[in-house]
Amino acid sequence: MKFLFGNPGYLFPWNVIFAAIAIVTWLYTQPEFARMAEFEIGWIAHIFVRNLVLMVLFYGGLHLWLYTFKAQGEEFNFHPKWRGEKKPRFLFGSQLIDNVIWSVASGCTIWSAYEVIMMWSYANGHLAMIT
């Protein structure tokens, strides 16, 4: 019971927080299924922008907490030096800018494309949705 319900346990606090975010996102930001029966730029853009906002909130919050505020100090630092700026090894000269661009260009795009295909499949009855 302590493993499941203790703090920190399996459910509390993080899994409950993540489940609550998923439920709120589904209930209040998901486009209607009637709109998703046809591929249209409106609902696809809606999903992409929603996912982008979620990504910025989570990744930006983690970046602020772990790097800007250095909340954990160097306790879990993989490398003894802090992240470097203006290094030629990064495509855009900065690790932060590289991470943001590649996360949006690949991560959010693939995440949104997967969700769009799944929602279109559910709306058209190609996949059975558990309700």
pLDDT digits (tens, 9 = 90+) for 55-86: 999 999 998 998 888 888 777 777 777 666 67
Q: What is the mean pLDDT of the chain?
A: 90
Per-position DSSP letters for the chain, written without gaps between them = -HHHHSTTSSSTTHHHHHHHHHHHHHHHHSPPTTGGGS--HHHHHHHHHHHHHHHHHHHHHHHIIIIIS-TTTTTT-SSSSPPPSS-TTSTTS-HHHHHHHHIIIIIIHHHHHHHHHHHHHHHTTSSPPP-
Tell me, what amino acid is at 29? T
The distance from CA 41 to its chain's CA centroid, rounded to whole angstroms, is 21
pLDDT digits (tens, 9 = 90+) for 33-45: 999 999 999 999 9
pTM: predicted TM-score of the whole model, two decimal places: 0.85
Which of 96, 28, 22 is closest to 64 using CA atoms?
96
Q: What is the pLDDT of residue 81?
A: 72
**86 to each of 89, 97, 100, how far by Cα in Å?**
9, 10, 15
